[in-house]
Amino acid sequence: MKLVTGNSNIPLAKAVSEYLETPLTDCVVTKFADKEIFVEVNENVRGEDVFVLQSTSYPANDNLMELLIVIDALRRSSARRITAVIPYFGYARQDRKSAPRTPISAKLVSNLITEAGANRVLTLDLHANQIQGFFDLPTDNLTSAPVMVRDIKQHYDTSKVMVVSPDVGGVVRARNVARRIGAPLAIVDKRRPKAGVSEVMNVIGDVEGHSCIMIDDIVDSGGTLCNAAEALLEKGAKEVSAYITHGVLSGTACERVGGSKLKELVISDSILETDVEAATANIRRFSIAELMGEAIARTASEQSVSSLFD
């Protein structure tokens, strides 16, 4: 087995490498003066089972091109099997035609990864589960729920916790966490007047006196979470925190979260931490390295991956 990484999240790749006790393959990913990406694999990978770890996070297009070119380099180097390990799958929010004459970019990106030469895909908490069907090759969509649950049990009294979905679309994800810790479930019903703007309308469920924990897959601008936190506190919640898999945190999101009523925002390390995020007092991280590493190990040894979540 060989483990290769691009430049999107080297700390996570190193953590996965340590868990697997497998050194990262010597692979140079650089740019020419005109920003063209160049890849050179400096180890023999002929006949190897190769895993390429690369999130397609900011800068999304650069990291996506790195992934595609690394896969192509490995295919042309006669790797036996290439698995694209994508902790954060960018373009996942463009999974359908949201208006006339708009693209389904998630399908386009999945086609690109397939055509580049990947043999299978391993990803985490896709924004929409149907994206698995966009790939014409085996795709494992892992869930971070077990890692979230472990962290919640370490930091909260679960007998006083209420799990909250910040929108109707995330109910299944939140229910999964609620079931694992034996907590009740509430839902924040919101209306989105236009893209990137959310307006909280109502809270479904009695949250009074509870420590509310919102569960979601992506936090981008942070507006939804901050508005939902205010609505929950107005309904009598004791405190409000949030557990999110992918911390996109674009623009002034960190400042917004830092100045909000959220007790803490806990996110995974699927996306590389920024300096602004590290300096925000109420943002904390949990690691998915063990989860990703175990999934890679089971894939390499042809064992069940789904049993990780039983």
- Domain boundary assignment for the chain: 2-142+290-309, 145-287
Record the tokens describing residue 101, joined without a space.
């004459």
User: In which residue are the tokens 């295919």 written?
Assistant: 75
Record the tokens describing residue 142, joined without a space.
């892992």
Total length of the chain: 310
Q: Are strands 161-165 and 185-194 parallel, antiparallel or unpaired?
A: parallel
Are the C-beta atoms of residues 233 and 249 closer than 8 Å to each other? no
Q: Which CATH class is domain 145-287?
A: alpha beta
Catalytic residue among 2, 107, 190, 261: 190
Does 224 show up as a binding residue in the annotation?
A: yes
Per-residue pLDDT reduced to its tens digit, 184-197 = 999 998 776 666 56
Does 223 show up as a binding residue in the annotation?
A: yes
Question: What is the average pLDDT value for the chain, to the nearest integer?
Answer: 94
Question: Is residue 308 very low, low, confident or very high in pLDDT (cuts 50, 70, 90)?
Answer: confident
Q: Where are the alpha helices (DSSP H) in 235-305?
A: 253-258, 275-278, 289-300
Mean pLDDT of 201-228: 92
Q: Give dist(CA 297, CA 300) in Å, integer.
A: 5
Give the least confident one: 45-59, 100-114, 137-151, 187-201.
Answer: 187-201
Tell whether the model's pLDDT for residue 198 goes beyond 60.
no
CA angle 277, 280, 285 (to 5 degrees): 60
Does 220 show up as a binding residue in the annotation?
A: yes
Q: Where are the alpha helices (DSSP H) in the chain?
A: 10-20, 60-76, 105-116, 145-155, 171-181, 223-234, 253-258, 275-278, 289-300
Does 120 show up as a binding residue in the annotation?
A: no
Of the candidates 39, 2, 8, 37, which has an alpha carbon nearest to the alpha carbon of residue 22? 2
**Residue 194, pLDDT score:** 64
**Residue 105, pLDDT score:** 96
**Residue 310, pLDDT score:** 72
Are the C-beta atoms of residues 142 and 292 closer than 8 Å to each other? yes
Does 294 show up as a binding residue in the annotation?
A: no
Q: Give dist(CA 167, CA 214) in Å, integer.
A: 10
2-142+290-309 CATH pick, 3.40.640.10, 3.40.50.880, 3.40.50.2020, 3.40.50.11540: 3.40.50.2020
The pTM of the full predicted model, rounded to 2 decimals, is 0.93
**Residue 167, pLDDT score:** 86
Is residue 2 among the annotated active site residues?
no
The alpha carbons of the chain give a radius of gyration, in whole angstroms, of 20
* Residue 59: cis peptide before it, omega within 30 degrees of 0: yes
Measured on CA atoms in the order 4, 295, 155, 254, is the torsion positive or negative? positive
Same fold, 2-142+290-309 and 145-287: yes
| Phi, psi angles (nearest 5°) of residue 35 | 80, 10
**Residue 200, pLDDT score:** 60
Does 34 show up as a binding residue in the annotation?
A: yes
